[in-house]
Amino acid sequence: MSSTGEAPRKNRGPAAAAENRQALIDAARDLFAEQGFSVPFSAIARRAGVGQASLYRHFPDKVAIGVAVFEENLRLLEARPVGLHDFLVSIADQAKVSASLLEALVTSRSPLAEDLAVRLSAIITDMIARDDLPPGTTVDDVQAAVSMVAFHTAAAPTPDAAERAIAIVERGLRAL
């Protein structure tokens, strides 16, 4: 009974929990990038190579895992702050993921999501100061710009969509 076994995947005990969680988050990010937020929730478990119930144990629904991906992205931003332009470009580069995460954040009512919103505000507040945005520029203004670039670029078919969108909103923010 304790031979090499041919079991499809062993129950490796609690130790595997963290690994699984990370695999799920990575799979979700990939799938959001490829297919947008409308991927089947169960596809995430498949892609991660993890059982369905484990997915549900870690994340009760798609929004929850979206929030978790968001958290990772935020951590990167906190570690290495960027200016407005670079921020918008990175949003557009990952337009489908960005749009997915915004959907998740807006949809979620969890305290974790609240926390993320606060941390994002802090990042943006900092960015406004460091990047010489006109006085009066609010966090909400920048968030709106981000959302507009993300959703438009995710939906637009042409390759120059991102560039054009960024140009417009950046001018709109700076030309106060």
Partner DNA sequence: AATGAATGAGCGTTCATTCAT
Partner DNA sequence: TATGAATGAACGCTCATTCAT
Which positions touch a copy of itself (CB under 8 A)?
38, 102-103, 106, 140-141, 144-145, 147-149, 151-152, 155-157, 160-161, 164-165, 167-173, 175-176
Partner from a copy of itself, DNA, none binding residue 12, C-beta < 5-8 Å depending on class: DNA
53's tokens: 């119930």
Distance CA 160, CA 157 (A): 9
Q: Is 109 in the site for DNA (CB under 7 A)?
A: no
CB of 57 to DNA, least distance (A): 5
Task: Figure out which of the listed residues 30, 36, 56, 90 binds DNA, where binding follows CB under 7 A.
Answer: 56
- Among candidate residues 88, 80, 72, the one with its CA nearest the CA of residue 141: 88
Q: What is the CA radius of gyration of the chain?
A: 19
Shortest distance, position 76 Cβ to a copy of itself, whole Å: 23
The position carrying tokens 């090499």 is 4
State which residue, 33 or 156, has the beta carbon closest to a copy of itself. Answer: 156
CA–CA–CA angle 93, 97, 102 (5° rounding)? 115
